[in-house]
């Protein structure tokens, strides 16, 4: 089915002029609080961003050609106000409300259009050029500087098994030499605001690879630079995006990058079904006393039975189910009857995601998706292709053609906004997945990853372990190399599954561990993975975070604490509907819980709450808190 776009209002003004170079053009957000000033002279193009009466980005250059000469051909303004419905995600409906300024330019003999779109909480820039002769003869370089008005503390994402970087003071970032960093780049300005630098709609910008940011030496200036060679049929660039808010949590619910991404290109997306999935990879070698899990048919059937019993929609079968690949042929492990496994799963209403990478040979990217669909899989988990943008575009399209969902591991492309355009791209391991490379991340790393890397869109961090003590004792084949290095609590693991946005919530532990704590697993059984609304009631970078998500009239709330110390925080229940009482089912750490010495202690209690109340919650060191708020009839 097609997902409707509901148009509310749109205004348009066009002024055609021969040359108004040397002028300044201004466009403000719908609420009038954010303003971008664009300046254009014969040889320079720049912008300035202010918000709530304060300059966030002072005058900074942007360009598309080296050694440009500018001539303004026309100026157009446009007001955008429409709503659209995501196939899945943190919101069931998103309002796209912005004012747009379009400069039609002649730059060194090339006709180019610059769009500047200003929202209440962010802005975007994009260049485009129509088909015209001799585009290849020019030296194109998309360059945008970001010069913060004041000093700031900086953070940025990391794609591999590393913690996000920061905080690093701006006056120390580029000391003595230039430094390349990954997106997103987040600034906590000394004036109090939070600013994030991203890009959006890289999927549509066929000539471009993933943007990175350059910290210029001996300055606090951030620059994004991309050289490219266009075709004569024209080009578009990715949107260069700046988000802003008063709190770090404001960035997590910011939808500007999604609004700037191209609308869904699928005529029918009804086959894309978000859900929770059991994952076999961390279960290998788990022995319950009478059964040991391995890479074999009987283990997969046992996991499918658990999924059926607990209404878990997916099973992800990871590496080594096949032993080699070559020219359209897969050699399946002798212990695995993959066709029987998938047939059994499908007969019982469980859908199978299959892993693939090229370490054991190349099947062929032009054939692998159709082959997996023929086997009866509904999705592919693709590993070890890294930051390869052309491949990622092709893989998403080929998967969609085969009606397969796809998610990428091992340092994938942070293609921001693609889940709107191609919603079969359901997740990515852009960050350190829990226990990846047999290393565990700290609670602080989880919090920073959620608040920084999470800005690029859905993540797969493999949270949700319940047998923490056995993992720390080294009783898992693929557990951490260093014993007792895993700091968390079972309640924190539950909350992490809610906090991270993904169309596939991966559950990495053995079925027996979930059955041991059935009253706690109840939260994950009830939890949807696609939502009507999302709020962030509490946050402090790297220290604690609370996320509240609504499905229908029921709210699910999760909080996570760092390993700094046990903590008490207050959650304002203002997001609840006034005049209605709610049953609050609380899943919480106990007084004895500790993320290092006693991680599996928890309790489940209920109480009655109402909108406007404040709920005090206690979290252990490395701990968490979760609750389900259900209206009382």
Residue 151 has a pLDDT of 95
Q: How confident is the model at residue 158 (pLDDT cuts 50, 70, 90)?
A: confident
pTM (2 decimals)?
0.95
**pLDDT tens for each residue of 456-468:** 999 999 999 999 9
Pairing between β-strand 624-631 and β-strand 110-119 as defined by DSSP bridges: unpaired
Residue range(s) in the chain whose domain bears CATH number 3.20.20.70: 274-430, 432-502+529-633
Q: How confident is the model at residue 22 (pLDDT cuts 50, 70, 90)?
A: low
In the predicted model, what is the mean pLDDT of residues 401-422? Answer: 96
Q: What's 456's DSSP letter?
A: G
Q: How confident is the model at residue 375 (pLDDT cuts 50, 70, 90)?
A: very high
**pLDDT tens for each residue of 494-519:** 999 999 999 999 999 999 999 999 99
C-alpha–C-alpha distance, residues 582 and 587, integer Å = 16
pLDDT at 8 over 50: no
pLDDT at 9 over 70: no
C-alpha–C-alpha distance, residues 502 and 150, integer Å = 35
Q: What is the dihedral of CA 299, 302, 306, 309, to 10 degrees?
A: 160
Q: How confident is the model at residue 380 (pLDDT cuts 50, 70, 90)?
A: very high
pLDDT at 275 over 80: yes
Residue 456 has a pLDDT of 96
**pLDDT tens for each residue of 529-581:** 999 999 999 999 999 999 999 999 999 999 999 999 999 999 999 999 999 99
Cβ-contact 186, 199 below 8 angstroms: no
C-alpha–C-alpha distance, residues 303 and 206, integer Å = 41
If you search the block for the tokens 């499908």, which residue do you land on?
346
Percent of the chain past pLDDT 90, that is, above it, reads 88
- Give the DSSP letter string of 429-440: --S--TTGGG--
In the predicted model, what is the mean pLDDT of residues 406-424? Answer: 96
For the chain, state the CA radius of gyration.
Answer: 25
Residue range(s) in the chain whose domain bears CATH number 2.70.98.10: 5-260
Cβ-contact 244, 34 below 8 angstroms: yes
pLDDT at 276 over 90: yes
Q: Decide which of 1.10.490.10, 3.30.830.10, 1.10.630.10, 2.70.98.10 is the CATH code for 5-260.
A: 2.70.98.10
Tokens read off for 187 = 């600034």
Topology given in CATH for the domain delimited by 432-502+529-633: TIM Barrel (3.20.20)
**pLDDT tens for each residue of 578-628:** 999 999 999 999 999 999 999 999 999 999 999 999 999 999 999 999 999
Residue 211 has a pLDDT of 78
CA end-to-end span of the chain: 34
Task: State phi, psi for 18 to the nearest 5 degrees.
Answer: -80, -40
Residue 176 has a pLDDT of 66
If you search the block for the tokens 């591991």, which residue do you land on?
409
Residue 2 has a pLDDT of 41
Topology given in CATH for the domain delimited by 274-430: TIM Barrel (3.20.20)
In the predicted model, what is the mean pLDDT of residues 305-318? Answer: 98
- Residue 151: CA count within 13 A, CB half-sphere: 7
pLDDT at 1 over 80: no
């Amino acid at each position: 089915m097609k997902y409707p776009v509901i148009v509310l209002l749109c205004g348009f003004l066009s002024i055609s002029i021969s040359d108004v170079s040397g002028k300044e053009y201004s466009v403000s957000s719908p609420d009038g609080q954010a303003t971008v000033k664009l300046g254009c002279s014969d040889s320079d193009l720049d912008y300035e961003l202010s918000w709530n009466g304060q300059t966030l980005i002072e005058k900074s250059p942007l360009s598309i050609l080296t050694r440009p000469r500018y001539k303004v051909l026309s100026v157009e303004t446009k007001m955008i106000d429409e709503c659209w419905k995501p196939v899945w995600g943190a919101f069931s409906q998103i309002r796209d409300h912005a004012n747009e300024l379009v400069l039609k330019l002649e730059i060194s003999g090339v006709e180019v259009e610059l769009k500047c779109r200003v929202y209440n909480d962010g802005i975007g820039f994009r260049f485009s050029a129509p088909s015209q002769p001799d585009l290849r003869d020019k030296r194109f370089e998309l360059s945008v500087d970001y010069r913060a008005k004041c000093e700031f503390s900086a953070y940025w994402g990391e794609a591999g098994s590393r913690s996000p970087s920061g905080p690093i003071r701006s006056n120390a970032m580029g000391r003595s030499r230039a430094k390349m960093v990954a997106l997103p780049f987040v600034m906590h300005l000394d004036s109090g605001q939070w600013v994030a630098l991203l890009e959006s709609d890289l999927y549509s910008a066929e000539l471009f690879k993933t943007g990175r940011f350059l910290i210029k030496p001996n300055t606090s200036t951030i620059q994004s630079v991309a050289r490219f060679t266009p075709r004569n049929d024209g080009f578009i660039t990715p949107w260069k995006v700046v988000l802003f808010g008063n709190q770090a949590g404001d960035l997590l619910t910011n939808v500007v990058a999604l609004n700037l991404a191209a609308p869904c290109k699928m005529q029918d997306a009804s086959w894309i079904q978000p859900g929770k999935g059991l994952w076999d990879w961390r279960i290998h070698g788990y022995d319950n006393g009478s059964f040991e899990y391995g890479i074999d048919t009987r283990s997969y059937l046992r996991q499918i039975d658990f999924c059926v019993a607990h209404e878990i929609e997916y099973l992800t079968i990871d590496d080594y189910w096949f032993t080699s690949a070559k020219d359209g042929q897969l050699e399946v492990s002798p212990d695995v009857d993959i066709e029987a496994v998938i047939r059994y799963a499908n007969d019982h209403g469980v859908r199978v995601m299959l892993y693939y990478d090229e370490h054991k040979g190349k099947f062929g990217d032009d054939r692998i998706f159709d082959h997996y669909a023929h086997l009866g899989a509904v999705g592919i988990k693709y590993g070890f292709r890294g930051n390869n943008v052309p491949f990622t575009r092709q893989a998403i399209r080929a998967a969609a053609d085969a009606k397969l969902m796809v998610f990428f591991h091992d340092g994938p492309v942070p293609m921001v906004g693609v889940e709107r355009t191609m919603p079969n791209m359901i997740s990515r391991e852009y960050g350190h997945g829990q226990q990846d490379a047999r290393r565990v991340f700290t609670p602080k790393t989880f919090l920073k990853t959620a608040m920084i890397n999470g800005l690029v869109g859905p993540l797969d961090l493999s949270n949700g372990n319940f047998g923490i003590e056995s993992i720390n004792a080294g009783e898992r084949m693929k557990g951490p190399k260093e014993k007792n290095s895993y700091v968390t609590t079972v309640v924190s693991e539950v909350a992490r599954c809610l906090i991270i946005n993904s169309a596939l919530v991966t559950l990495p532990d053995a079925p027996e561990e979930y059955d041991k704590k059935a009253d706690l697993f109840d939260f994950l059984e009830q939890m949807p993975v696609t939502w009507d609304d999302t709020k962030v009631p509490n946050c402090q970078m790297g220290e604690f975070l609370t996320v509240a998500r609504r499905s229908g009239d029921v709210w699910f709330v999760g909080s996570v604490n760092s390993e700094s110390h046990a903590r008490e925080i207050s959650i304002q229940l203002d997001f609840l509907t006034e005049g209605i009482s709610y049953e609050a089912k609380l899943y919480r750490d106990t007084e004895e819980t500790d993320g290092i010495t006693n991680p599996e202690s928890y309790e489940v209690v209920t109480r009655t709450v109402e909108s406007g109340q404040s709920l005090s919650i206690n979290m252990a060191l490395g701990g968490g808190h979760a609750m389900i708020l259900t209206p009382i009839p």
